Structure 1
Amino acid sequence: MTIHLRNATARPSTLDLDARTVEAIASTGADTVRAGYIERLDLKGADLSRLIGGPVLDGHRSETTRDQLGVIEAAELRAEGLWVKLKFRSNQPSLAVLADIGDGTLRGLSIGYTVQEWAESREGKNRVRTATKLTPLEVSVVPIAADPTATFRAGESQMQTQTTETTAPPAAGTLTRAEMNREIRSIAQLANLSDDWTNGQIDNEATPEEARAAAFEEMATRQDQTRTRSARIEITADHTDPQVIAERAGEALFARSNPAHEISAPARQYAGLTIPEMARQCLTRSGISTTGAATESLVTRALHSTSDFPLILGDAVNRELRRAYQAAPSGIRQIARVASARDFRAKRALQFGEAPELEKVLEGGEYTYGTIAEGAESYRVETFGRIFAITRQALINDDLGAFTRVPAMMGQAAAAFEAKTLAGLIDGNPVMSDGVAVFHADHDNLDSASAIDTTGLSSSRLLLRSQTGLGGGKINATPRFLLVSPDRETEAEQALAEITATRTDDANPFSGLSLIVDGYLTDDSAWYLAADPAVIDGIEYAYLEGAGPGPQIETKAGFEVDGMSIKVRLDFGAGVIDYRGLVKNPGA
């Protein structure tokens, strides 16, 4: 019997030595084991705008120009993964690497990227972090790839036919079932087919001849799926993705009202354009004639057409809103920790007691089980928001103030709302799940009234350090922050001031505390000590998972309002999850 084997060579047939180009699958999003978790890439969330025209690097090194082997001419997402077309430089080191790729002695590929959003999950005992929004920045040629399925494209695979004469195997009727199964497994291994395919053939009691025919059919199907198309759409640096245009033109509009902003190179093509001029460009890109159109007509038609004009305006507004929101941080946030909530149902924050004390194990003795006490507090994320409008008159007049004053006020209002909510938890002294208020004598965290001085601080510090866990053991909470209202700011500064002491007795033991002054605290007399939230739980605040921190916006060409309506939405919630990291002094 004669068996014909078709072996694919390791040489990538997409390699063009004259043009110095080669195609590759740079990533399939395969799992990568990191320290303590598994990293996974959801390539559907990849923004390729910065990858196209980006560098091809030697092993992710980017210290000098010698580390750059070439550039990425094109990139797109395909069924197999992230497809790229690489063009190598004409210098000798780059040509040497390209030659090694052609010989098949260099096969590893890896991508460098930044992640904007993560999704957390668990698979059995494994923690999985999935990058749901990421921006690939470069492609590297590496000896060992984190993604073993990333490889240079074979294109129309170069097949070599090998003919081997062998003795014909016994007829199917003379083989036992076990022998047939061994033959089927051999066929699957030779064709590089999965265990599921093999088990399916065996479960259906296929004969070796039937399995062989099915294997050839599966290989043909797989080859059709991975074959490089002769006609392909390449996304180039001058593509017209509406979202990318909105980001670049929105940045240019933001830069006009914020001269200190350093505009990026891709956005410079829109720098200096007035709002009506941007409207004209948007209509032209949508195939709508603007010849002879007046300014009023340009703006009105751009708002109510399928152009990307509302996206550009929304991007500029969002930039201003985020700038104002981030410029007005709340001091009280420092004593709280941030989390995320998957939905709007009550979020349970678990409390764990201290670890059990280790016990001596005698020679030949048994280890005993220890227990960790648990508790829980809950709060929920809720939705807050408002709508404001940028009028048609402001757009026609190219009024940049419409993109600065109102969005900035909304951003500041969102930051103020979060700060008031956190301060309200301190002032309001809510009741916890044990039926006792946060600051209460039963919790041993309500000190007797005293001034902010060495005596008062010593007393409150002792209360904090004396706190016990759910199991009754000492937790040794260390004060990190002193929280006061503006009325006691000077007094607190004097109490924490560093003193150049000539004697040990004159040293200030509290100079290492960080002072937080929050204007939203309504109790002007009280002051508080707080432990580091990274060490001991206290206050927690959360945003809706996927929405990200801070306010989000949506835009709509107005019908009730003659212009553009902008909705600001904040999904936010906060609660006290443990009283042990906080001490209140009513103040004297």
Structure 2
Amino acid sequence: MTIEQMIARQQELLNAARSAGRNMTREEAAEFDSLQRSIDAARAAGAGIAHGGQSSTPAAPANNTPEGQRQQTPAAGEGGNGGQDPQNAQRAIEAERQRIRSIEDLCTEFGLDARSYIDNGSTEEQVRAAVLEHLRSQHSPVATGIQVTDTQEDKFRRAAADSLLMRSGMTLERPEDGARSLMGMSIRDLAIECLQRDGSSESNLNRRSSDELYTMMARGFYNPEASFPAILDQTIEKAYKEGYRKVAVTFDKFTKKGSLKDFKKHDNYYVAGPVGEFYEVPENGELKHDIFKDDKLPQRQLKTYGRQFTLSRKAFIDDDIGLVTSLPARYAAAARKTINKQVYQILINNSNIYDGAALFGKEHKNLLASGTGVTQEAMQTMIMALANQKDQFGESIIINPATIVVPSGMKFDMYTLFFSPTINTSDNTQAVNPLYQYRDSIEVVEDPTINALCGGLGNVMPWFLIGDPGDTDFIEVDYLNGQEIPNIRRMEAPGQLGFIWDIYLDWGISVMDYRGAVKNPGIKVDTKLKLV
């Protein structure tokens, strides 16, 4: 195709768009640009042919509207080749190219289809407005322009971590693609694969002993680009989160979760007191001034708890996958169990609290004088003791019973007490059970931690009625910045052969208000039959 033919084809594309009152489509614009590149190349090679002493570069739309296209179409006879000004035509071509590029960039960044906006002649500003409307309708934040995409190496590391977890018997809801195909790999095989991916110059890694491979792995311990330590980190992190989530504890059923930002003692926690009652104001009488009070609540403070475990050189050589999966999960579970035990120690030990008196006692009117088993009379007394508490300022408060906390072995009697519509009395064998109405509003929590703290079966064990957290705070468990999942950090200890991890968590437990619970000293708890 000669230059004249290429220019004529460009003009046909422009005329077709103008006749339809639109801009060129994406296909037309692509063909136009291809022709222009061929024209420029031909001219650079000296193959151009002059037309009437002037360039015959055709015009393209100067702006993005059909009206702009029509305004830029000169009358017949105004310049060579249909009246086109070469300089204006070149500027119009560049403007159209820039419009298309800008629209494609915007639509790609925000997940929109650019074709429709290019074909209908939308301006860049119109496309920006469409993007904002799309984001508003999706309730999404405006993107910053920075996109983070996963590399193949990232995907491999996640797949390898999931394969180790599944190999250990852990069930994953959504394992990474490719994880199942890696399940047959031993730790040694995985180490070789990682060394190869990291660009190792060794050509015969399969011939290396496991001890030699371990030494090579250890060299990359502090290398952030090394695959093997990163895979272990991801595996251990998922394992301990799973262990933390599945551990059976009960403290969070009757305590409140809190958050502190540092390790200082927080003793500026005040509760506002009630305002005074309204008094009748006689005609021409004066309003009486009221002074309200506030009261300081107990201090709260965080402490750090943690342990350390090691994937030793021996475990690496022995392909002991359990140390990478089950051990972190057990330590994470231990963190939750430690909190659970500390909460129950507060209930059982009955130490002095923020006001200098024992948590349960005469001063607080929250301790039954004598212990009982699960009886209607005991429950009625405890519910009334909870409901008749007064706040810090002597005002009556309403605390609804929400949770009964009992040792293992006492829950059976609780079910009988709450789920029987009728009970036997001295006068009536089918009397209405007044506690039946509480069957759905009071949760029974049974925890063997009470049994263990009291010395096991055959000993006297207390049980407790705890009020609704919405009515009053009883015990609060605070975490640093609200983070309740343990932290994990890989490190190296001098003199130890192995990959070492620290696992730690920051928490603090505080009795916030003794009015939130009533204690029954209890009775001996034992099984009906003796065990061998």
Do they superpose with TM above 0.5?
Answer: yes
TM-score (normalizing by structure 2): 0.66
> C-alpha offsets along residues 341-393 of structure 1, whole Å, 9 cap, x if unaligned?
22222233735255435526869976955624322112421112221111223
CA contact (8 A) 2:103 2:127 kept: no
Report the 3-state secondary structure (helix = DSSP H, G, I; strand = E; otherwise coil) of the residue aligned with 2:500: strand
- d(CA) in 1 for partners of 2:97, 2:148: 18
Superposed displacement of residue 142, structure 1 = 3.2
- Alignment correspondent of 2:135: 141
Superposed displacement of residue 556, structure 1 = 2.6
- Alignment correspondent of 1:344: 263
Residue in structure 2 matching 1:448, options 363, 366, 369: 369
Superposed displacement of residue 312, structure 1 = 1.5
Alignment of 1:565-584 (within 5 A): 565-584=500-519
> C-alpha offsets along residues 524-562 of structure 1, whole Å, 9 cap, x if unaligned?
42111001223310001112227x213221113555222
Task: Name the amino acid aligned to 2:105.
Answer: V
Report the 3-state secondary structure (helix = DSSP H, G, I; strand = E; otherwise coil) of the residue aligned with 2:204: coil
- d(CA) in 2 for partners of 1:465, 1:368: 31
Residue in structure 1 matching 2:168, options 257, 269, 280: 257
Superposed displacement of residue 494, structure 1 = 2.3
- Does 1:21 find its partner at 2:104? yes
Residue in structure 1 matching 2:199, options 284, 287, 308: 287
Report the 3-state secondary structure (helix = DSSP H, G, I; strand = E; otherwise coil) of the residue aligned with 2:135: strand
- d(CA) in 2 for partners of 1:539, 1:563: 41
- Alignment correspondent of 2:17: none
CA contact (8 A) 1:551 1:570 kept: yes
Report the 3-state secondary structure (helix = DSSP H, G, I; strand = E; otherwise coil) of the residue aligned with 1:458: helix
Superposed displacement of residue 520, structure 1 = 1.5
- Alignment correspondent of 1:490: 412
Task: Name the amino acid aligned to 1:386.
Answer: R
Report the 3-state secondary structure (helix = DSSP H, G, I; strand = E; otherwise coil) of the residue aligned with 1:289: coil
Superposed displacement of residue 437, structure 1 = 1.0
* Cα 1:267/1:344, change in 2 over 3 Å: farther
Task: Name the amino acid aligned to 1:462.
Answer: M
- Does 1:505 find its partner at 2:432? yes
Task: Name the amino acid aligned to 1:322.
Answer: K
Report the 3-state secondary structure (helix = DSSP H, G, I; strand = E; otherwise coil) of the residue aligned with 2:298: strand
- Does 1:459 find its partner at 2:459? no
Superposed displacement of residue 574, structure 1 = 0.6
* Cα 1:503/1:109, change in 2 over 3 Å: farther
- d(CA) in 2 for partners of 1:390, 1:146: 43
- Alignment correspondent of 2:253: 334
- d(CA) in 2 for partners of 1:152, 1:234: 8
Superposed displacement of residue 417, structure 1 = 0.8
Task: Name the amino acid aligned to 2:203.
Answer: T
- d(CA) in 2 for partners of 1:14, 1:567: 57
CA contact (8 A) 2:192 2:213 kept: yes
- Alignment correspondent of 2:232: 313
The structure that has the greater radius of gyration is 2
> C-alpha offsets along residues 175-197 of structure 1, whole Å, 9 cap, x if unaligned?
xxxxxxxxxxxxxxxxxxxxxxx
Task: Name the amino acid aligned to 1:539.
Answer: I
CA contact (8 A) 1:332 1:518 kept: no
Residue in structure 1 matching 2:332, options 394, 400, 411: 411
Superposed displacement of residue 98, structure 1 = 9.1
- Alignment correspondent of 2:449: 520
- d(CA) in 1 for partners of 2:235, 2:503: 14
CA contact (8 A) 1:345 1:381 kept: yes
Superposed displacement of residue 414, structure 1 = 1.6
Report the 3-state secondary structure (helix = DSSP H, G, I; strand = E; otherwise coil) of the residue aligned with 1:262: coil
CA contact (8 A) 1:249 1:312 kept: yes
* Cα 1:387/1:259, change in 2 over 3 Å: closer
Report the 3-state secondary structure (helix = DSSP H, G, I; strand = E; otherwise coil) of the residue aligned with 2:164: helix
CA contact (8 A) 2:159 2:182 kept: no
- Which runs of 5 or more residues in structure 2 are unaligned? 1-62, 66-94, 424-428, 455-459, 524-532
Residue in structure 2 matching 1:551, options 477, 486, 501: 486
- Alignment correspondent of 2:84: none
- d(CA) in 1 for partners of 2:119, 2:209: 56
- d(CA) in 2 for partners of 1:571, 1:253: 29
Superposed displacement of residue 584, structure 1 = 0.6
- Does 1:107 find its partner at 2:129? yes
Alignment of 1:525-536 (within 5 A): 525-536=461-472
Task: Name the amino acid aligned to 1:410.
Answer: Y
- d(CA) in 2 for partners of 1:90, 1:418: 55
* Cα 1:235/1:469, change in 2 over 3 Å: closer
Alignment of 1:118-133 (within 5 A): none
- Alignment correspondent of 1:422: 343
Q: Report the structure, 1 or 2, having the larger strand content.
A: 1
- d(CA) in 2 for partners of 1:266, 1:19: 35
Residue in structure 2 matching 1:562, options 473, 480, 497: 497
- Alignment correspondent of 1:238: 151
- Which runs of 5 or more residues in structure 1 are unaligned? 1-8, 24-69, 73-84, 111-138, 154-232
- Does 1:88 find its partner at 2:112? yes
Superposed displacement of residue 20, structure 1 = 6.6
Task: Name the amino acid aligned to 1:330.
Answer: V
* Cα 1:267/1:334, change in 2 over 3 Å: farther
Q: CA RMSD in A?
A: 3.8
CA contact (8 A) 2:420 2:433 kept: no
> C-alpha offsets along residues 87-122 of structure 1, whole Å, 9 cap, x if unaligned?
534786xx5899657352652657xxxxxxxxxxxx
Residue in structure 2 matching 1:540, options 464, 470, 476: 476
- d(CA) in 1 for partners of 2:177, 2:99: 30
- d(CA) in 2 for partners of 1:270, 1:349: 57
CA contact (8 A) 1:349 1:577 kept: no
* Cα 1:554/1:140, change in 2 over 3 Å: farther
Superposed displacement of residue 248, structure 1 = 4.9
- Alignment correspondent of 2:219: 304
- Alignment correspondent of 2:275: 356
CA contact (8 A) 2:360 2:519 kept: yes
- d(CA) in 2 for partners of 1:99, 1:270: 50
Task: Name the amino acid aligned to 1:253.
Answer: L
TM-score (normalizing by structure 1): 0.60
Residue in structure 2 matching 1:322, options 241, 247, 256: 241
* Cα 1:236/1:464, change in 2 over 3 Å: closer
